[in-house]
């Protein structure tokens, strides 16, 4: 009897010792290093991300096989912590790379652990959140490390559109390793402690003789403002994890579900008389579209995606009547709200995310057209603009369009118009729906009359006025039935909520095919 008890104690002690070894990971000194760099450790991050005491860890005792050089220490856990837990009571899967173990580098066992949680996440239909902090492919493991990355990429692609995938870049992310986050739906980057690039500063120096820092090459600011790789930037690890929790709150767990309903106690019949005066009388004057967005959404709560990139278009999540909606709105306060290459890419990808995950789409339109000029044409405005056109057209979720002011030419069609089959198209009385703006139109169709007159300016103004009276309003389109209703701006929220309720049971199916061929 006594021997059995001693044996049991010994087994428990072994388990305790092994778990402690795994949790200790790279040791106290390296954890302190991590703190000195302003970063949290992999476990601290998981604890902040998930609801308290909900983390269930997998593979705490899994070890690597060691590299071909036979040099590195074999760590239990192999430099990544994986498992599942909840965020506000809803299940999520998580992996958190541990920089204290071989620089968080990715070897075979490390990748197998990540693949395991990805596989289960897809099976049960729950989001995957990756906390990346890694020196990349584990050099000692050679081709095994490369193969391991391939397995993760494969799963990222298979999971795309099935469960939401979120990547947080909380340290280095270099080389081919960047492609896993870039396939995922949303990338968060922590300012000053994270960077992403395919080739680092030293290779840049060798190949192009340019001196550049990691921050200037691929820091959070660069990727949030210039490249568009990062959807969100945050000041530190704590804020990053808080923002991920906030994002998860808008999203369904998988493509088989709807987003969580969250009652923000905001009346569905709330009107806002100030909206009647939002659009200036002079149509060349600007205003801030955020005023309209915040006015209509439940509790004025809006989570903007890509807030610093292509600011001429606004994309993000909010709630109407408690249900998550995806908003795509032109921003007249930036570049007059024109559509350019970056704006088309940004909104196109956002629309596809919403469509994949059953999130109704609402467009708020004030668009003077596509950006003219050789920069944009040569940069591919034709194929980039087509992405947004394609994305809205193929979307089968409930789609509502509100034309606030300008809706000119192809950009009008692209922004979720009735002609590409949005479900309901509303317009404010300030809407201007036309092939182009009054000046351009008058100059094209009355060129001879204007320039042969003694007072070209006066004739131009007169022709512009005539054009405005005919086209720069929503009434012609309403007579044709292209606009379902011209509404009072103050009532926009009320109409949107009622329309969403009506569309709630919408079912739409496209033709049988393997997949379409979006102009990527
Ligand atoms: C093995 C690595 C490693 C790696 C870091 N370490 N990166 N071990 N493979 N890729 C180890 C270091 O040897 C060190 O171990 C510990 O992690 C911490 O690294 P430090 O260099 O001391 O830290 P720091 O000064 O903060 O610099 C971090 C770093 C640097 C910038 C990430 O370590 C670095 O440049 N690493 C190599 C990055 C790289 O080129 N990776 C390959 C990218 S290509 P000790 O024991 O001394 O503490 C790639 C291909 C993917 O990933 C392809 C997919 C298809």
| Residue 401 Cα distances to 32, 101, 181, 390, 485, angstroms | 52, 51, 32, 16, 11
Give the Å distance between the CA of 135 and the centre of ligand 1: 4
Estimate the crossing angle of helix 381-394 against helix 341-356, to 10 degrees.
20
* Cβ partners under 8 Å of residue 340, min gap 6: 310, 312, 370, 371, 376, 381, 384
Residue 66 is predicted with a pLDDT of: 76
| Residue 223 Cα distances to 21, 190, 489, 490, angstroms | 37, 11, 36, 38
* Cβ partners under 8 Å of residue 136, min gap 6: 105, 106, 172, 173, 174, 175, 176, 177
Whose CA is closest to atom 8 on ligand 1? 102
Q: How far apart are CA 197 and CA 219, in angstroms?
A: 9
Task: Assess whether the C-beta atom of 103 lies below 6 angstroms from ligand 1.
Answer: yes
For the CA of 104, the closest atom of ligand 1 is 17
Task: Assess whether the C-beta atom of 67 lies below 6 angstroms from ligand 1.
Answer: no
Per DSSP, 106 falls in state: B
Q: How far apart are CA 133 and CA 131, in angstroms?
A: 7
Task: Assess whether the C-beta atom of 329 lies below 6 angstroms from ligand 1.
Answer: no
Task: Assess whether the C-beta atom of 199 lies below 6 angstroms from ligand 1.
Answer: no
For the CA of 139, the closest atom of ligand 1 is 9
Task: Assess whether the C-beta atom of 233 lies below 6 angstroms from ligand 1.
Answer: no
**Tokens at residue 17, please?**
């010792």
CB 426 within 8 A of CB 401: yes
Q: How far apart are CA 423 and CA 126, in angstroms?
A: 30
* Cβ partners under 8 Å of residue 162, min gap 6: 122, 125, 254, 255
Secondary element (H or E) of residue 93: strand 90-97
Tell me phi and psi for residue 407, to 5 degrees: -145, 85
> At which residue do the structure tokens 């379902």 appear?
484
Give the Å distance between the CA of 136 and the centre of ligand 1: 6
Residue 72 is predicted with a pLDDT of: 63
Estimate the crossing angle of helix 142-159 against helix 108-124, to 10 degrees.
10
Task: Assess whether the C-beta atom of 116 lies below 6 angstroms from ligand 1.
Answer: no
Tell me phi and psi for residue 400, to 5 degrees: -125, 140
Task: Assess whether the C-beta atom of 85 lies below 6 angstroms from ligand 1.
Answer: no
Q: In whole angstroms, what separates CA 216 from the centre of its chain?
A: 23
Estimate the crossing angle of helix 456-471 against helix 438-445, to 10 degrees.
120
Per DSSP, 483 falls in state: S
Cβ burial 184-201 (10 Å sphere, 16+ → b, else e): bbbbbbbbebbbbbeebb
Whose CA is closest to atom 37 on ligand 1? 135
Give the Å distance between the CA of 238 and the centre of ligand 1: 24
Give the Å distance between the CA of 174 and the centre of ligand 1: 10
Whose CA is closest to atom 55 on ligand 1? 176
Q: How far apart are CA 416 and CA 401, in angstroms?
A: 6
Helix (H/G/I), strand (E/B), else coil: 316: strand
Sequential pLDDT tens for the chain (520 residues): 557 677 778 899 999 999 999 999 899 999 999 999 999 999 999 999 999 999 999 999 999 877 766 666 789 999 999 999 999 999 999 999 999 999 999 999 999 999 999 999 999 999 999 999 999 999 889 999 999 999 999 999 999 999 999 999 999 998 888 999 999 999 999 999 999 998 889 888 999 999 999 999 999 999 999 999 999 999 999 999 999 999 999 999 999 999 999 999 999 999 999 999 999 988 889 999 999 999 999 999 999 999 999 999 999 999 999 999 999 999 999 999 999 999 999 999 999 999 999 999 999 999 999 988 888 889 899 999 999 999 999 999 999 999 999 999 999 999 999 999 999 999 999 999 988 888 888 888 888 888 888 888 888 888 888 888 888 889 989 999 999 999 999 999 999 999 999 999 999 988 999 999 999 9
Whose CA is closest to atom 41 on ligand 1? 136
Q: How far apart are CA 180 and CA 130, in angstroms?
A: 10
User: What residues does 83 pair with on adjacent strands?
Assistant: 57, 94
Task: Assess whether the C-beta atom of 39 lies below 6 angstroms from ligand 1.
Answer: no
Active site residues: 175-176, 410-411
Give the Å distance between the CA of 512 and the centre of ligand 1: 47
């Amino acid at each position: 009897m006594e021997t059995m008890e001693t044996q049991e104690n010994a087994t428990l002690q072994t388990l305790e010792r092994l778990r402690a070894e795994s949790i200790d990971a790279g040791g106290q000194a390296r954890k302190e290093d991590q703190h000195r760099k302003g970063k949290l450790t992999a476990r601290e991050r998981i604890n902040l991300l998930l609801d308290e005491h909900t983390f269930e860890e997998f593979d705490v005792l899994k070890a690597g096989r060691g590299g071909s050089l036979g040099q590195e220490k074999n760590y239990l856990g192999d430099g990544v912590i994986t498992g599942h837990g909840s965020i506000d009571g809803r299940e999520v899967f998580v992996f958190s790379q541990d920089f204290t173990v071989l620089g968080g580098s990715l070897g075979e066992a490390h990748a197998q652990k990540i693949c395991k949680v990805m596989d289960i996440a897809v099976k049960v239909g729950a989001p995957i959140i990756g906390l990346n902090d890694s020196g990349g492919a584990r050099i000692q493991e050679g081709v095994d490390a490369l193969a391991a990355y391939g397995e993760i990429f494969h799963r990222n692609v298979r999971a795309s559109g099935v469960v939401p995938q979120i990547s947080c870049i909380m340290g280095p992310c270099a080389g081919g390793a960047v492609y896993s986050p870039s396939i995922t739906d949303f990338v968060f980057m922590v300012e000053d402690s994270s960077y992403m690039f395919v080739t680092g500063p030293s290779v840049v120096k060798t190949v192009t003789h340019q001196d550049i820092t990691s921050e200037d090459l691929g820091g959070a600011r660069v990727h949030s403002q210039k490249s568009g790789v990062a959807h969100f930037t945050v000041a530190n690890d704590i804020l990053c994890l808080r923002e991920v929790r906030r994002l998860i709150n808008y999203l369904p767990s998988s493509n088989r579900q709807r987003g969580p309903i969250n009652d923000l106690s905001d009346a569905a019949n709330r009107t806002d008389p100030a909206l009647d005066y939002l659009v200036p009388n002079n149509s060349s004057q600007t205003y801030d579209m955020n005023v309209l967005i915040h006015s209509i959404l439940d509790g004025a709560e809006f989570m903007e995606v890509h807030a610093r990139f292509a600011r001429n278009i606004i994309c993000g999540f909010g709630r109407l009547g408690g249900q998550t909606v995806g908003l795509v709105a032109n921003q007249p306060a930036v570049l007059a709200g024109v559509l350019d290459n970056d704006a088309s890419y940004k909104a196109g990808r956002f629309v596809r995310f919403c469509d994949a995950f059953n999130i109704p789409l609402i467009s708020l339109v004030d668009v003077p057209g596509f950006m003219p000029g050789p920069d944009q044409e040569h940069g591919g405005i034709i194929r980039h603009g087509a992405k947004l056109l394609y994305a809205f057209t193929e979307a089968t979720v409930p789609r509502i369009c509100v034309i606030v002011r300008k809706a000119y030419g192809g950009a009008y069609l692209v922004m979720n118009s009735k002609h590409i089959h949005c479900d309901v198209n509303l317009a404010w009385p300030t809407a201007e729906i036309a092939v182009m703006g009054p000046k351009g139109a008058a100059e094209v169709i009355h060129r001879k009359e204007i320039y042969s007159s003694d007072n070209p300016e006066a004739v131009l103004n007169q022709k512009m006025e005539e054009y405005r009276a005919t086209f720069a309003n929503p009434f012609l389109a309403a007579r044709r039935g292209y606009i379902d209703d011209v509404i009072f701006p103050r009532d926009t929220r009320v109409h949107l909520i009622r329309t969403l309720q009506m569309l709630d049971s919408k079912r739409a199916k496209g033709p049988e095919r393997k997949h379409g061929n979006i102009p990527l």
